[in-house]
Amino acid sequence: MSIIEAAAAITLLYWTFMLVQMGVGLRLLPPLPKRAEAGSGARGKEKTPLVSVILAAKEEEKTIRETVQHLLQQDYARFEIIAVNDRSSDATGRKLEELRRWSEGRPESRVPLTVIHITTLPDGWLGKNHALYQGYKQAKGKYLLFTDADVRFQPTTIRDAVAYAERQEADHVTMSPYMKSQSFWLRAFVHYFLFSLCLFIRPWRANLDHQHRHGMGIGAFNLISRQTYEGIGTHQTFALRPDDDLQLGYRVKKHGYRQRFVTGNDHLEVEWYPNLQSAVQGLEKNLFSGFRYRFSYALAGMLGQLLFFFFPFIALWIVPGWPRLAYILSAAIAVGLYLLCVRRLTRDSGREAIVFPLTVCLLVYVLGRSVFLTLRRGGIYWRGTFYSLRELKKRKP
Same domain, residue pair 36 and 180:
yes
Residue 339 domain flag: yes
* Predicted pLDDT at 109: 63
Same domain, residue pair 148 and 243:
yes
* Predicted pLDDT at 273: 87
* Predicted pLDDT at 364: 96
How much is the pTM? Answer: 0.89
End-of-domain residue from the set 216, 243, 274: 274
Residue 191 domain flag: no
End-of-domain residue from the set 239, 257, 274: 274
Same domain, residue pair 131 and 216:
yes
Q: Where are the alpha helices (DSSP H) in the chain?
A: 3-25, 35-38, 64-72, 92-104, 127-138, 157-168, 184-201, 226-231, 244-254, 276-286, 295-304, 311-318, 321-345, 356-377, 389-393
Same domain, residue pair 73 and 105:
yes
Same domain, residue pair 107 and 80:
yes
User: How many residues are there in the chain?
Assistant: 397
Distance of CA 302 to the CA centre of its chain: 21
Same domain, residue pair 67 and 146:
yes
CB neighbour list of residue 108: distance below 8 Å, 6 or more residues apart: none
pLDDT in tens, the chain (397 residues): 788 899 999 999 999 999 999 989 999 999 999 875 444 444 433 578 999 999 999 999 988 999 998 898 898 989 999 999 999 999 999 999 998 888 887 666 678 899 999 999 998 899 999 999 999 999 999 999 999 999 999 999 999 999 999 999 999 999 999 999 989 999 999 999 999 999 999 999 999 999 999 999 999 999 999 999 999 999 999 998 888 999 999 999 999 999 999 999 999 999 888 899 989 888 887 788 888 889 999 999 999 999 999 999 999 999 999 999 999 999 999 999 999 999 999 999 999 999 999 999 999 999 999 999 999 989 888 777 788 888 877 655 5
* Predicted pLDDT at 42: 42
The CATH number of whichever domain residue 86 belongs to comes to 3.90.550.10
* Predicted pLDDT at 111: 83
Same domain, residue pair 143 and 254:
yes
Residue 195 domain flag: no
Same domain, residue pair 68 and 20:
no
* Predicted pLDDT at 233: 97
Amino acid identity of 360?
V
Same domain, residue pair 77 and 218:
yes
End-of-domain residue from the set 274, 300, 328: 274
Q: Which domain holds residue 346?
A: 3-26+278-392
pLDDT in tens, 181-219: 989 999 999 999 999 999 999 999 999 999 999 999 999
pLDDT in tens, 29-63: 999 998 754 444 444 335 789 999 999 999 999 88
Same domain, residue pair 264 and 284:
no
Residue 33 domain flag: yes
Question: What's the structural domain count of the chain?
Answer: 2
Residue 192 domain flag: no
Q: What radius of gyration do the chain's Cα atoms show?
A: 22
Same domain, residue pair 111 and 129:
yes
Residue 317 domain flag: yes
Going by C-alpha positions, the residue among 202, 158, 219, 146 that lies closest to residue 337 is 202
Residue 246 domain flag: yes
Same domain, residue pair 161 and 14:
no
Residue 352 domain flag: yes
